[in-house]
Structure 1
Amino acid sequence: MNLQSLNGDGALDHPSLPPLHRNRHFIVLMSAQLISNLGDWLHLLALLTMIGMVWQATPMQITWTTLCIVLPMLVGGPLAGVLADRLNRKWLMIFADLIRVLLVFSLLWATQLWHVYLILIGKSIFDVLFSPAKNAKLREIVPSSQLPQAVTISSSIEQGCKIAGPALGGLLLAIAGVQWSFVVDAVTFLLSSLILLALPGREYQRQAMQTASRDAEPEERERQRSFWSDLVTGVRYMLHMRIIGYGTLLLCMVLLVLQLADSQTIVLFRQIPGIQQSLLGWCMTASGVGTLTAAWLSSRLHISHLSKMSAGAALMGLVFVIVGPIAAMVHAGSLTTGLLLLSFWLVGIGAGFAFIPFQVLLQQHTPVHMTGRVFGTVSSLTSASSATGPLLGGLLVTSAGVTPAFVLAGLLLTLIGITGLVRVKDKRMSPSMVKKA
């Protein structure tokens, strides 16, 4: 096959730098992501509704459901990253999609919580395989000068699905019930796998990685012979690239505290008398709109990525402190609906500022031949936070109630955000923090 020229860091480049919408490989990857992400939100809303509203699961049962999703990411993130760097990324994504078709379909026959637990563990394992391969493929096929724009588009697609997914999920729940949401979700993974067939394969990936290694350090020029050496290399790179290390630490703290309350949102909804099941879908839609708003604002604010992340954490914290006590005192009605929609919109803005700039930062400072390992390691660390938060949140809600959990999480998020802003202002993220230690 004829390959376009590659730039010094291994990403696809072209002398005339055509716009991203003319990059056929980028369009294929984003199309597959769009369909897959849309199905993810259909599946999540249906699952939360089935377990939280229909089965009336306890706070700890909801916690175990969340843990079944994130624990495989904690254990398998770095390993999946190594596989993404060593295997054919295209076929790794297709394989993960096809297995998830079968797993999501199996939710149709789940009648007990332990059935759901096992299925979610299996699905999460293949979610882990897909994500680093997708991120590495994005880094491989997009020129470095267009990478921030590509990451913003990818993040916008992900957040845009939060709008269409819950809205469609709510419609499916009202017309046909929970099971049809699982059917549609399974079909999305099948469609994604078919679209991914149009991506370039191993030869393209090898050329990109070989070109990237020309300007790398001598010890990085040769392929590591050991699977575990690859894993250690990814961790070492993150520790040496201090801006990535600090950003990852900030993100992990935000996720840990956020999940104290966020994982128990369904419990907060249940305590409002007369609340409708469909409102959860519309609130998730409002959150998606908020995150899209943050994506638009982020591209126009000329401040550091770390400042945006800190501001996002503080905004989420302030909303949690306010909405937790208010939700315990109101009844279902138009005023309550408006309050919840506004709260989710603001939280979505905060989440967008906390997560999207970090993705841009990570893509900008990670060479293509290490993208899988670095993204896999980050996935593992963030999954550890996402796993610990719900566990602590479930214990807190069980012992003290859902309102104290939201207030405590809000106060901690606000503190993290303010501390981060002060630290960035003092350090200014000077070039010394970007260079390798």
Structure 2
Amino acid sequence: MQTFQLLRSLRNPIFARLYTAQVTNLLGDALTWLGLALLAFEEAGNNSAVVLSGALTLRVTAFVLLSPFAGVLADRLDRKTILVTTHLARMGIVSLLPFVNAVWQIYAIVFALNVFYAFFTPTYQATIPLVTGQEDYPQAIALSSATFQLLGVLGPGIAGAIAAFVGARQVFFLDAFTFLIAAILIITLPGQLRVEQAAAQNRSSGRTWQDIQAGTTRLFADRYLRYALAMQLVTSVTGAMILVNTVGYVQGVLKLGSVQYGWVMGAFGIGATLAAATVGSLGQHWTRTTIILLGASLITTALLPASYVKLPFLLVLWLVAGAGQTLVNVSAQTLIADRTPTEFQGRVYGAQFAWSHLWWLFSYPLAGWLGSYREDTSFLYGSLFGLVLLVMIQLILSPKEQKYVHKSYWHEHEHTHDEHHRHEHHPSILVTEPHRHPHQHGSLRHAHAYSGLHHHYDCEHD
């Protein structure tokens, strides 16, 4: 039944084709990273782990630096053009990998590849609610996440079989072909995927930085989105512990092999996939913030006993942890669609993608340090750190239910400074004269910020 509800969003032919392009793109990613691992070992030998860790750091860095700008473009331009361009660019870049003969070339190509990935992902995320509509976007987001997690489990095995058949370097040509197929699928979508900008048809380059700031401003100004992003810090800390230290625990502490390590990480991916398949149903009965709290609690508590269990129990714990991480991430993405007007969703998805990956830049070194100095108990300390963060976030940032619930969007109008308009300004604006700029406005109270957006509150009564 849950699977049927997820697949219901595929009744929309535009989303069905967009989703097929995503599946093809994910298969290409699996080929990319397996091929990179083989290429790193071929070029660096025993130092291949250093090469891969450097490549992952460059990947996250590209996401943090460029995703907010990608969100701005997603709100300004035809998203179909952006999606096609990023696929074709990655096709060309991946085609260079078979000719690599130095480690620095791997770094350069990986960074260039993820520059375009940073533009693709927020644009794709913002496009899902644009093409599916109010009724189906929660299921569509969950389906995309479930597919991402499932291919995260199955993709490396599929890619490994293909690499064994065609060769380690030749696999990149097939990888490039998957990006070409995905681009063709998006090109054939009817019409444009452009957001109507009612009040901002004539945007100048001078507004670009303001629009980038606007995505982050909206993300942090909304108490629900702020709470979800903070909980993603919890899942990044605990998730990094799993990704970085599981191999050392399974093969170093438990004295098992790579096959058992594959089982454990497979359990993590399966848990994530199952959670993505059920999150839509949970959303019909629980609030999104409740689901986020549940997910963060699951992944942190799953790590708590993990340093003291054998393989069978570790499989169960990682199944639960994978489910917890997905409950948080999918609900956070859905909240953006719930609480952000369509014309601003690209900027907010871009900001969310950047900030959530910034958490991983902090979490990976922390996990590595705990794995080095507390190998036997790294999961225990990681869990305790995550639990402290969770409790603090819940106490400080948890949205309190109020009698009056306000939905909001931003607007711009000419105004002078009176009791309703007191806010910070760009230095170029003269506050002593009537002026215009985007700002936030409320029906019960007025809160203003120079952010590039304008928020208006509509009252709903319990």
- Structure number with greater Rg is 2
Compare the two structures and name the one with the higher strand fraction. 2
Pair 303,39 (structure 1): closer, same or farther in 2 beyond 3 Å: same
Identity between Structure 1 and Structure 2 (%): 24
Residues 1:34 and 2:23 are matched in the alignment: yes
C-alpha distance after superposition, 1:351-401 (max 9, x if no partner):
111211111111111211111111111111112111222233334444x15
User: Pick from 96, 106, 110: which aligns with 2:86?
Assistant: 96
Deviation at 1:308, TM superposition (A): 1.8
TM (norm. structure 2) is 0.75
Question: Match for residue 12 of structure 2?
Answer: 23
Q: 1:182 to 1:318 in 2, by over 3 A?
A: farther
Aligned match of 2:269:
288
Aligned letter for 1:351? Answer: Q
Q: CA deviation at 1:107?
A: 3.3
Question: Who is 1:299 aligned against?
Answer: 280
Give the aligned partner of residue 394 of structure 1: 368
Q: 2:295 aligned with 1:312, yes or no?
A: yes
Partner of 1:141: 131
Q: 1:428 to 1:90 in 2, by over 3 A?
A: same
C-alpha distance in 2, partners of 1:245/1:392?
Answer: 23
Q: How does 1:347-426 map to 2 (within 5 A)?
A: 347-398=321-372, 400-417=373-390
| Higher helix residue share | 1
Give 5+ residue unaligned stretches, structure 2.
1-7, 409-441, 448-462
CA distance in 1, matches of 2:315, 2:169: 26
Worse-superposed segment, 92-101 or 384-393: 384-393
CA contact (8 A) 1:318 1:410 kept: yes
In the alignment, the residues of structure 2 paired with residue 267 and residue 321 of structure 1 have an alpha-carbon distance, to the nearest angstrom, of 17
Distance 2:260 2:169 in 1: 19
SS of corresponding position for 2:10: helix
Give the counterpart letter for 1:117 in structure 2: Y
C-alpha change, 1:341 and 1:298, in structure 2 (3 Å) is same
CA–CA distance in 2 between the matches of 1:325 and 1:110? Answer: 43
Say which structure, 1 or 2, has more relative contact order (CA 8 Å, 6+ apart): 1
Displacement of 1:254 in angstroms is: 2.7
1:26-425 to structure 2, matched below 5 A, reads 26-48=15-37, 55-57=45-47, 62-110=52-100, 112-172=102-162, 178-179=168-169, 182-202=172-192, 205=194, 208-210=195-197, 213=198, 220=199, 223-225=202-204, 226-271=207-252, 275-277=256-258, 279-301=260-282, 302-326=285-309, 336=311, 338=312, 341-398=315-372, 400-417=373-390
Q: Cα distance 1:278–1:116, how it changes in 2: closer, same or farther (>3 A)?
A: farther
TM-score of the aligned structures, taking structure 1 as reference length: 0.79
Distance in 2 (CA, whole Å) between partners of 1:179 and 1:46 is 7
- CA-CA distance at 1:323 after TM superposition: 3.0
For residues 170 and 381 of structure 2, the distance between their equivalents in structure 1, rounded to whole angstroms, comes to 37
For residues 167 and 250 of structure 2, what CA distance do their matches in structure 1 show? 20
User: CA–CA distance in 1 between the matches of 2:41 and 2:168?
Assistant: 12
Greater Cα offset, 34-43 or 270-279: 270-279
Secondary structure in 2 matching 1:145: coil
Deviation, 1:290, is 0.9
Is the contact made by 2:72 and 2:346 (CA closer than 8 Å) also made in structure 1? yes
The number of equivalent residue pairs is: 398
What 5-or-longer segments of structure 1 have no aligned partner? 1-18, 214-219, 331-335
**Aligned residue identity for 2:384:** L
